[in-house]
Amino acid sequence: MTSHVPVPHLTDPTVLVTLVGPDQPGVSTRLFGVLDGFPVEVIDVEQLVVRGQLVLSVLLTDPGDDGALSESVTALGGRLGLTASLERGTGDNRPRRVGRSQVIVLGAPLRPGAMAALTAQIRSDGGNIDRIVRMARYPVTAIRLEVSGADPDVLQASLARVAYAQGIDVAVQENGIRRHAQRLIVMDVDSTLIQGEVIEMLAAHAGCEAEVATVTERAMRGELDFATSLHERVSKLAGVPASALDEVYESLVYTPGARTMIRTLKRLGYRFALVSGGFTPIIERIADALGIDYFRANDLEVTDGVLTGRVLGEVVDRAGKAAALREFAAQAGIPVKNTVAIGDGANDLDMLAAAGLGIAFNAKPTVRDQARTSVNVPYLDTIIYLMGITREEVEAADAADDQVIS
């Protein structure tokens, strides 16, 4: 037979017990041991430790005694060297208002003035900060704020302006069960997953690197049609030995944090895809080396071991990248709302807009201004923090894997 526990009403008397002071083993155990001697129910518990200083709060139903609870908790605090306080009131914690968001703040450095500006804007937008948690201390400082009462879309727009003015990065995501679901991460390659542009590396073999780099820069800023610019640049590669593709692959340098991000999120069952305006012979090898699930790129025509200067088939351009994201999501059985797109150029904009979370990574100004989320630090693993994963969790998982391997 199932018993039904009555739900506390907002008018029911409650008491908030708080212990503050130097952290030490067994504080929560001893507090709950003392509380067990009274006819109370636990409604909520919060604990925080910062630089060895503990704040432990327990919300209880009020036993209605004449001070015995206060005396017992105060005595416990005295024995442990902690300050104890009791505050009586009514009901549960104030219900969190509608419009729940997760706000991630990235700074290198993160200064008090920036936090003051952000928190003031959240308040101005009608939001309340329910909880603040540090996600990482290095290579950047990452802080998560859980906010209620403000429209996530309003927060996204207003906090982006504050972040730009303060020289930090802010990402806003609506809180909900969908945030914990499996995701598909779709990445651009050139100047995102890797440092530099493959086509410029190939152009160096043809003696026209500077000329091609100028066209690439204009295309990435959105000043030129990508497909047209690609055909123009590839035409200058005519006569380059196909072996240059192998040389370029061997010289690739991954963006700092790329392997950490992929390794960590794949542990959690995330899928990965590469969608590139680059070339299949290189993108395929990158995908194989990193355990990427899907990829799409452009095919170069090769005749007698030499590049002809032509692209085969349809170019993977701005629209093509967004289409690939949707196709890969369908293949993986993952809703488009649960996709994350990362890119830096104008040809990534449709993909960033199509994804549930579009991230402009060290992007060109026109891309940064149009993307909902922008990350401007040179570490790709900062994306992990936007997924709600802390640096400590990453390091603990890596250490556990090392122990298994050894």
Q: DSSP labels for 119-144?
A: HHHHHHTT-EEEEEEEEE-SSSEEEE
Which of the residues 125, 169, 190, 381 is marked catalytic?
190
| Cα–Cα distance, 52 to 367 (Å, whole number) | 43
Residue 192, classed as helix, strand or coil, is coil
For 2, other C-beta atoms within 10 Å of its C-beta total: 3
Q: Which helix (H) or strand (E) holds 299?
A: strand 294-303
In the prediction, which pLDDT does 93 show? Answer: 54
- Asked whether the bond before 112 is cis by omega within 30 degrees of 0, the reply is no
Please tell me the predicted confidence (pLDDT) of residue 401: 74
Look at residue 176 in the predicted model and tell me its pLDDT: 67
In the chain (406 residues long), the average pLDDT of successive 10-residue segments reads 48 89 92 91 85 89 86 94 90 58 92 94 92 88 92 91 93 73 90 93 88 85 85 90 94 95 91 95 97 96 94 93 97 93 93 94 88 90 89 84 52
Identical topology for domains 13-90 and 101-180:
yes
Q: What is the pLDDT of residue 165?
A: 92
Sheet holding 271-279, edge to edge: 306-312, 294-303, 271-279, 184-187, 339-343, 357-361, 373-375
In one-letter notation, the amino acid at residue 369 is D
Helical segments of 22-67, H only: 27-35
Cα–Cα distance between 172 and 156 in angstroms, integer?
A: 6
pLDDT for 179: 62
Residues linked to residue 54 through DSSP beta bridges, in sequence order: 21, 49
Q: Which fold has domain 185-375?
A: Rossmann fold (3.40.50)
**Domain residue ranges of the chain, discontinuous segments joined by +:** 13-90, 101-180, 185-375
- Element at 301 (helix H, strand E): strand 294-303
Report residue 388 as tokens: 């709600």
The residue from 125, 169, 188, 317 that is catalytic is 188
Q: Quick check: is 188 catalytic? A: yes
What would the two tokens of residue 301 be?
Answer: 């025509």
> Exposed e or buried b for every residue in 194-210, given b needs 16+ CB within 10 A?
beebbbbbbbbbbebbe
Q: Is 59 exposed, middle or buried (0-12, 13-18, 19+ CB in 10 A)?
A: buried
Task: Tell whether domain 101-180 is in CATH 3.30.390.50.
Answer: no
Question: Tokens representing 235?
Answer: 């035409």
Active site residue 190: yes
May I ask the CATH architecture of the domain 13-90?
A: 2-Layer Sandwich (3.30)
Asked if residue 146 lies in contact with residue 131, where contact means CB atoms within 8 angstroms, the answer is: yes
